[in-house]
């Protein structure tokens, strides 16, 4: 049971003070009855709260699947650049953050949530969560590259920095090669640095999946949707 003003503030209707005022003005109702008392106790698991006629279900966490477009940075706030969180229209934007980072010029799957514990689990290097990328690479990607990636490559600048074994699949090899790469880490610019380590340049990069979560192909770059109950369970 929680107070009605806290319930509505938690769901992003406004600050606690604003919400109290709205309730006094009669804009909230519980189980169909107008309520003007901010301290009314509500059972968030069974009662129906509405605000300005709109049902406001109580959810502790929000989960969005975004197809990140190019030109947007993986951050919550930035002084100069557009951020991935600014793309999400949510009443509760303040707590949202991206789980991990994609480079500004990378597209594809990005999970946006306010669930810190889940983010921690997905990003922990010890959990070895598979991240699968589609890439277009300048020049011919070869079976030798597949072998080298399977062993792990050194992507360090001054000091050696070895990657864990990675699975490289060649979809098309030519002047521009098309590949799928699965890694279990998330080192800074990892995919680009792995190809650089074998003398090649990534021209286009898109994340297709992260653990059990697969990018919905119906989402164009910049579009997003809520995760389904099933997807949340699988995470």
CB of 206 to ligand URA, least distance (A): 9
Task: Give the catalytic positions in this structure.
Answer: 103
CB of 24 to ligand URA, least distance (A): 48
In this complex, which beta carbon is closest to ligand URA, that of residue 167 or of residue 189?
189
Alpha helices per DSSP H over the chain: 4-10, 16-24, 116-123, 143-151, 190-197, 229-234
164: left (phi over 0), alpha (psi -120 to 50) or beta: beta
Residues 202 and 137: beta-carbon distance below 8 Å = yes
In this complex, which beta carbon is closest to ligand URA, that of residue 96 or of residue 132?
132
CB of 182 to ligand URA, least distance (A): 12
Binding site for ligand URA (CB under 6 A): 102-103, 106, 189-192, 205
Distance CA 199, CA 182 (A): 19
Residues 7 and 58: beta-carbon distance below 8 Å = yes
Tokens of 139: 């020049």
Q: Which position has the token pair 């922990």? A: 124
In this complex, which beta carbon is closest to ligand URA, that of residue 22 or of residue 192?
192
In this complex, which beta carbon is closest to ligand URA, that of residue 29 or of residue 106?
106
Distance CA 226, CA 217 (A): 14
CA dihedral 106, 109, 112, 118 (to 10 degrees): -120
């Amino acid at each position: 049971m929680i107070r009605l003003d806290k319930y509505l503030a938690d769901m992003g209707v406004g600050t606690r003070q604003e919400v109290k005022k709205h309730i006094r003005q009669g804009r909230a109702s519980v189980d169909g009855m107008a309520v003007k008392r901010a301290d009314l106790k509500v059972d968030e698991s069974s009662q129906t709260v509405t605000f300005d006629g709109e049902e406001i279900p109580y959810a502790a966490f929000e989960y969005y699947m975004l197809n990140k477009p190019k030109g947007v940075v993986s951050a919550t706030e930035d002084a100069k650049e557009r951020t991935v969180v600014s793309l999400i229209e949510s009443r509760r934007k303040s707590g949202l953050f991206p789980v991990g980072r994609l480079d500004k010029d990378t597209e594809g799957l990005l999970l946006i949530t306010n669930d810190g514990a889940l983010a921690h689990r997905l990003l922990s290097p010890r959990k070895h969560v598979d991240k699968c990328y589609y890439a277009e690479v300048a020049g011919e990607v070869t079976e030798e590259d597949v072998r080298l990636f399977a062993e792990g490559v050194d992507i360090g600048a001054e000091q050696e920095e070895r990657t864990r074994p990675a699975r490289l699949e060649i979809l098309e090899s030519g002047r521009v090669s098309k590949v799928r790469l699965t890694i279990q880490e998330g080192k800074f610019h990892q995919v680009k640095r792995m190809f650089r380590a074998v003398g090649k340049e990534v021209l286009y990069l898109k994340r297709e999946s992260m653990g059990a979560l697969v990018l919905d192909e119906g989402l164009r770059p910049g579009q997003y949707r809520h995760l389904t109950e099933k997807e949340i369970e699988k995470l």
